[in-house]
Structure 1
């Protein structure tokens, strides 16, 4: 079980007699945390549950979640601002005066919700891009940017705010790119930066 929503996991019940091991894949653990493992253990007490918590799995799916944020981070650096990506070895602790930006279409990604709570407890501000502003991460945020989109991770009773023929979270990720770029354009004017003043900060070691 990797990238399907938890509400669809009942498919295992239909093939219960043929299952020996139920694997909870990395993407599902990232999205739902250990609650997914506990839910399957409760539903299938007689089965072996394998929690596959690798650093990277289903690479394209997981990488898409990070590309837009990393691109935004890169441009913030080009503007001369201090910016870090959560999880990097050189990222310092967060505290008062800092801003954590989270992109989560569902607004419920378990690992991101944990980070949001930690950041708020440390006195930092929180901004989020999301399809569902009423979800857990949105309820913690100081600034919410609501994007149209569709996600297979929506909660029970929730409906997508836009229809798309694209798979999974593609529409949300594309709108995230455009939103981040729009913020950069606004900041260029506020900070008096141009492409010419930003370019000297571009990496020269590659």
Structure 2
């Protein structure tokens, strides 16, 4: 099969998987983002790379954000928000972060494939996106993928992050031009 055909199959999978997106869950995460004093974001592996892109766009929207583990990340306070991207919801380091955040009275949101995962059970807000992964214990929906491991989930995350940004732009009256004023100039 050609690369173009593989690409079209991936896009078809993502279109199919997007039907499982719950607007109410996304409305909740938007509400949490808007109410947060400071937003921390975390993820591991490819999910972590995607959440870094989301953090960047939230900063462009004017939110105070930090990536967990960065040297400039401040101390948490009650009323802050931690957003964790974890397909399985069971990654040890992220489970530990979730537990620590909850003990510090930080609101917790998770983007995951498993509503019953350890992180999801601690979360105030759960966004379930479908995907396939050998690490997944409790499949949320019955789907398949031609792609390896968690790729379908990770790709859908990135698209959903951008959709959240578009919704926030509408709510906040932001445009690409106003956001660009916050874009890095020391690159």
TM-score (norm 2): 0.73
Paired residues of 1:150 and 1:160 also in contact (CA < 8 A)? no
How far did 1:159 drift?
Answer: 3.9
Paired residues of 1:76 and 1:184 also in contact (CA < 8 A)? yes
Structure number with larger C-alpha Rg: 1
- For the residue of structure 2 that corresponds to 1:84, the secondary structure is strand
How far did 1:94 drift?
Answer: 1.4
How far did 1:72 drift?
Answer: 0.4
Structure with the greater relative contact order (CA < 8 A, sep ≥ 6): 1 or 2? 2
Q: Which residue of 2 aligns with 1:13?
A: none
Counterpart check, 1:90 vs 2:72: yes
How far did 1:95 drift?
Answer: 2.0
How far did 1:205 drift?
Answer: 1.0
How far did 1:63 drift?
Answer: 4.5
Unaligned 5+ segments in structure 2 are: 1-43
Unaligned 5+ segments in structure 1 are: 1-61
> Take 1:180 and 1:159, find their aligned partners in 2: how far apart are those partners?
22
1:109-149 Cα shifts (integer Å, max 9, x gaps):
11001000111110110001111111100000111111110
Count the aligned residue pairs.
143
> Take 2:166 and 2:98, find their aligned partners in 1: how far apart are those partners?
26
Q: Which residue of 1 aligns with 2:185?
A: 204
Counterpart check, 1:187 vs 2:168: yes
Q: Which residue of 2 aligns with 1:142?
A: 124
Q: Structure 1 residues 74, 64: closer, same or farther in 2, change over 3 A?
A: same
TM-score (norm 1): 0.67
- For the residue of structure 1 that corresponds to 2:165, the secondary structure is helix
